[in-house]
Amino acid sequence: MARNRKPQEKLETNMSAMIDVVFQLLIFFMLTLKLIEPEGDFNINMPARGKPTEPSPDPPPLDTKVKLRANPDGTLVGVYLGSRPLGNDSDAFKRLNIEILRLIGSPDNPLAEDMAVEIDADYNLHFKNVISAVGACTGRVDPRTQRVVKYIKNIKFKPPQKPGAAS
């Protein structure tokens, strides 16, 4: 504590120790800074194979088949809804999104609870295309409210087939 004896009795504190600590803290937080982009998940329930399914009085869900075909290098060749081609560019998934909306009638339709989409993707296909297809079937983000409008929640996958295996 430094004290100057002046007529006004002014008290001065030695700040250097605190400044040292504060700078060390600042450097610590700057070095440990790890900027992480926000991640999200698509939840998929896949019970183990061979498990006896419980008999249900309800009719089985209506399956919509989405086929994703790929070149040997994994790039997308085509998106098909059933047997209908929707293209192979980035707009193909937008078209898929529109077609799924047409199938369910209106967003958040309770009947969509009974519907399921089965994704049949080629073995080599880049995973990003599957995520785009899952996203297109699950819903869309309302551009005005930025809220997710849900379409079909039940997403299934056709078992994988290695290239060259008998189809």
Partner 1 sequence: MAKKRSSGIGSIEVDMTPMIDIVFQLIAFFMVINNFEQTQADERVKLPRDALAKPPEVKIEHEITLNVGYLRDVRGERTNPDPFLFNFGGEDMMPPLGSSKALEQEARLYRNREVEPKDVTVKIRADAEVPTGVVQEMIKLAQDAGFEKFAMSAMSSSEGQ
Query: Which residues contact partner 1 (rule: CB under 8 A)?
Result: 4, 12, 15, 18-19, 22-23, 25-26, 29-30, 32-49, 68, 74, 93-94, 97, 121-132, 134-136, 138-141, 148, 157, 159-162
Q: Of the candidates 110, 111, 132, which has an alpha carbon nearest to the alpha carbon of residue 66?
A: 132
Look-up of token digits 């610590």: 28
* Minimum CB distance to partner 1, residue 140 (Å): 7
As given in the structure block, the two tokens for residue 24 are 């060390």
Nearer to partner 1, 65 or 140 (CB): 140
Burial of 159 (0-12, 13-18, 19+ CB in 10 A): exposed
* Minimum CB distance to partner 1, residue 4 (Å): 7
Nearer to partner 1, 59 or 90 (CB): 90
* Minimum CB distance to partner 1, residue 159 (Å): 7
Cα(167)–Cα(146) distance, integer angstroms: 42
Nearer to partner 1, 47 or 60 (CB): 47
Nearer to partner 1, 115 or 151 (CB): 151
* Minimum CB distance to partner 1, residue 1 (Å): 15
Cα(32)–Cα(53) distance, integer angstroms: 50
Q: Of the candidates 76, 146, 142, 135, which has an alpha carbon nearest to the alpha carbon of residue 100?
A: 135
